[in-house]
Structure 1
Amino acid sequence: MGKNIKVAFKHVSKEYDLYQNKSDKIKGLFLPKSKQMQSFWALRDVNFNIYDGETVGLIGINGSGKSTISNIMSGVIPPTQGEVVINGETSLIAIAVGLKGPLTGYENVRLKLLMHGLKTSEIDALMPSIIDFADIGDFMNQPIKNYSSGMRSRLGFAISVHTNPDILVIDEALSVGDSTFYKKCVDKITEFKEAGRTIVFVSHSLGQMKGLCDRIIWMHYGQIREIGDAQEVADKYDEFVRWFNGQPKAYKKEYQDDYKRNQKLPQKVIYPNPNANRYRLGWLDKFMLTLLIILMIFFGYFVGTGRSVMDAFRVSENNQPVIVQTLKNV
């Protein structure tokens, strides 16, 4: 295993605002955050390194922060605090990620590969291999919105592994589909491992983790609980799950509520995100955005009513306007 760091999380935290309704979310774009606004910390002070050629698993119960880490790692969302270092090109494989419902399978393949910077000739060369790997037959001609979750996963996996990424992030993409497709995916992942690629694998399956991963990071309600050898951490996690499932229902609810309540507690900005200003709107940005929206609404309204006015009038031979119909739309 190489010692070059491919992925580094340095004191990374991720906060989400818990809006009560859509109007509050819209207000949050333009107005300062109120003291009454409740927040949720999906991650708190997460630190780890992933090395070149290493396969690392992320496990944890639902809501532990696994998908948040994979999304930050892939550049889908920014961290609230801390720093993320990625030395290479990442490709996220998750069910339907980046796939557009109204587009067909063929169109989605072309769109995603174009977004990865491939030329038309390169896409044409890869298309037969992607179609063969996805193995969804005539559904390649159908809109993605008509696909089952397994078919979406097949197509998404097929596209991502053909983009030849340095870092492959797989988020529950092997949890759907039949055993034949699973074997095909495992063979491809093994091929990537042998080629020295870095793989981050998110799953609830301990069997998959033990068979594919070198190390495992066990996430627990937004924080790292254990990190180490895959077999060792998987056994500890399995022991915890067995213990938890054996507890009374009232205790399990109290246990979960305590952790979720802790995730809503405020956190001081100890490790600021060095790129935070790139994502945050200042008061001038908010003012300009508000002005732009008002102008768009104003322009759209008068364009619509202007057409109605033009339809309502005609010019006579002596250039005098003559009303020819009622101005119903003005």
Structure 2
Amino acid sequence: MSNQTVIVRDVTKKYKMYKKPAEKLLDIILPKGYGEDFYAIQNISFEANQGDVIGIVGVNGSGKSTLSNLISGIIPPTSGTIELNGEVSLIAIASGLNNELTGRENIELKCLMLGFSKQDIKRLEPEIIEFAEIGKFIDQPVKKYSSGMKSRLGFAISVTVNPDILVIDEALSVGDQTFADKCLDKMNEFKEQGKTIFFISHSMGQVKKFCEKILWLEYGEVRAYGPMKEILPKYQEFLKEYKAMSKEEKKRFKQQVQLKQSGQNKPGDKLQTSSAK
């Protein structure tokens, strides 16, 4: 039996950009469509195995959240295929929480949507509440929660329902260090159980501490994918160059990016940072 859990093949996600609502109508009516194309993800291919802990890195706008939503099945790809072997759970700040409902009602709703019986939910609920550590707020509407509390509740639900594939999108960037450590402990448990974990974080410290592989996205494409020790230093070097760019160089870089993401550049064309030859 194959131990591959996620197989992504030539996946592209294209959006249309409209300047005003009328353009959306023209896009539907006109045979060739209307509006500017925007490629959030272009021709991405990679595989993940049981027990892989993959850090997804890239500067803002590289397609990290688009990819996490594609893997989680929240949005479909425009083209290409995503094959998943197992249940997937996405943990993003407030992902899937209903602001009007209380924390407790959200637990019940999310678990029902995941196919749990009322009996299962009754058994899981105390465990979720204990993990979330939000006290009496559990019976308050989620709209009264801070972003840290939403993240805690979302995380508590997702880890307690025990998925096979876990996608964590910036969920540990809010809240306190103690809770982040508790979440990392739980994720290490999952790692030992052979689950597949995708971890998106701007904290290179967390990525270094937790991930074994790195998937480096650069404006919708895979720039590099491989062992953390090999890829992360290259990405950190790129970040250093990127931050050191002059205003003019940043502007040129942005123009290249916009061309690429509007589909006018060939996929695979390298973007030039200041020190690239």
TM-score scaled by structure 1?
Answer: 0.77
8 Å CA contact 1:15, 1:40 repeated in 2: yes
SS of residue matched to 2:96: coil
Residue in 1 that maps onto 2:101: 103
One of 142, 152, 176 as aligned partner of 2:150: 152
- Which deviates more, 246-255 or 156-165? 246-255
Q: Is 1:250 the equivalent of 2:263? A: no
Q: 5 Å matches for 1:267-278?
A: none
Q: 5 Å matches for 1:41-190?
A: 41-190=39-188
CA–CA distance in 2 between the matches of 1:191 and 1:235?
27
CA–CA distance in 2 between the matches of 1:75 and 1:33?
29
8 Å CA contact 1:88, 1:167 repeated in 2: yes
C-alpha deviation, 1:247, in angstroms: 1.5
CA–CA distance in 2 between the matches of 1:65 and 1:191?
28
One of 203, 206, 213 as aligned partner of 1:205: 203
Inter-CA distance 49–99: structure 2 relative to 1 (3 Å threshold): same
C-alpha deviation, 1:24, in angstroms: 3.4
CA–CA distance in 2 between the matches of 1:263 and 1:190?
36
Inter-CA distance 263–137: structure 2 relative to 1 (3 Å threshold): same
RMSD over aligned Cα atoms = 1.7
CA–CA distance in 2 between the matches of 1:21 and 1:73?
30
CA–CA distance in 1 between the matches of 2:162 and 2:109?
16
8 Å CA contact 2:56, 2:214 repeated in 1: yes
Q: Is 1:214 the equivalent of 2:207? A: no
User: Hey, which bits of structure 1, 4+ residues long, moved more than 2 A?
Assistant: 21-28, 30-36, 265-268
SS of residue matched to 1:236: helix
C-alpha deviation, 1:254, in angstroms: 1.6
Structure 2: gaps (5+ residues) = 267-277
8 Å CA contact 2:99, 2:141 repeated in 1: yes
Residue in 2 that maps onto 1:307: none
TM-score scaled by structure 2?
Answer: 0.91
CA–CA distance in 2 between the matches of 1:51 and 1:10?
15
Inter-CA distance 33–107: structure 2 relative to 1 (3 Å threshold): farther
Residue in 1 that maps onto 2:9: 10
One of 256, 260, 263 as aligned partner of 2:261: 263
Q: 5 Å matches for 1:268-307?
A: none
SS of residue matched to 2:198: strand
C-alpha deviation, 1:23, in angstroms: 4.1
Matched AA of 2:141: P
Q: Deviations over 1:302-323 (max 9, x none)?
A: xxxxxxxxxxxxxxxxxxxxxx
Structure 1: gaps (5+ residues) = 269-330
Inter-CA distance 32–113: structure 2 relative to 1 (3 Å threshold): farther
8 Å CA contact 1:3, 1:52 repeated in 2: no
One of 225, 228, 235 as aligned partner of 1:237: 235
8 Å CA contact 2:89, 2:163 repeated in 1: yes
C-alpha deviation, 1:214, in angstroms: 1.4
C-alpha deviation, 1:266, in angstroms: 5.3
Q: Deviations over 1:155-180 (max 9, x none)?
A: 00000001110101111101111011
SS of residue matched to 1:190: helix
Which structure has the greater CA radius of gyration? 1
